[in-house]
Structure 1
């Protein structure tokens, strides 16, 4: 199977659109659920910072909360999908350059992908 450069660019464009639209829809669903449950709550005290619960800082916890229809978990999943979209774009670019046998860009793109993944996994609680 032979891909032309234009075909791969179309695939990458569709991937980016799909990722952003999916992240938006997921976050919107989470926001609607959150407002339906907490919309009439009193205004929180913004003088003291309250971070996310520990379960919402880990991928496994986000997925668990999403399947239990927890609004914050669903919104966090939307953020994860949004973050993963450009990473998948870099991965697709790596694949594209490998098909074209453009070694210099394969090395550069692989270095960029490695830096991104290293930064994510050394700073994230898994």
Structure 2
């Protein structure tokens, strides 16, 4: 017994809805997690009364941020939360690639992969 065209379309619509719900959940998790990290950094800032760094300096590189988090430096924790917030939509693009591959849509897989590569290159070049 083969699947009718109507059943196939219904199954595809159900799959699309499930993927959209999963993507929206990941976006929510990313935003809530980044907000929680930023709030922790703000609490540390108000408790310590300083950024944890001398003068008007702050962490510039990922190793600086990681070591600052390990030392509970408020600006490093806040910066980590901001990085999580920036990476949330990037995760959405990566999930979209997986969805398009799963659907067998080569055009959108290629376009979305190009978008992800542009995002990654912009992060690398933005640091220079």
Is the pair's TM-score, using the shorter chain for normalization, greater than 0.5?
yes
**Greater percentage in helix:** 2
Quick one: higher RCO (CA 8 Å, sep 6+), 1 or 2? 1
Structure 2 portions without partners, runs of 5+: 1-13, 51-55
Q: Could you tell me which residue of structure 2 aligns to residue 17 of structure 1?
A: 28
For these two proteins, the number of residue pairs brought into alignment is 110
* From 78, 81, 95, the counterpart of 1:78: 81
Q: Could you tell me which residue of structure 1 aligns to residue 62 of structure 2?
A: 59
CA distance in 2, matches of 1:96, 1:124: 30
Runs of 4+ in 1 over 2 A off after TM superposition: none
Give how far 1:10 is off. 1.2
Is 2:98 the counterpart of 1:95?
yes
User: Is the deviation greater in 58-67 or in 18-27?
Assistant: 58-67
Partner deviation per Cα, 1:75-122 (whole Å, 9 max, x = no partner): 000001001000000000011001001111101101111111001012
Structure 1 portions without partners, runs of 5+: 40-49
CA distance in 2, matches of 1:10, 1:16: 10
Indicate the structure (1 or 2) with the bigger Cα radius of gyration.
2
Compute the TM-score of the two structures, normalised by the length of structure 1: 0.81
Tell me how large the CA RMSD over aligned residues is: 1.6
Compute the TM-score of the two structures, normalised by the length of structure 2: 0.80
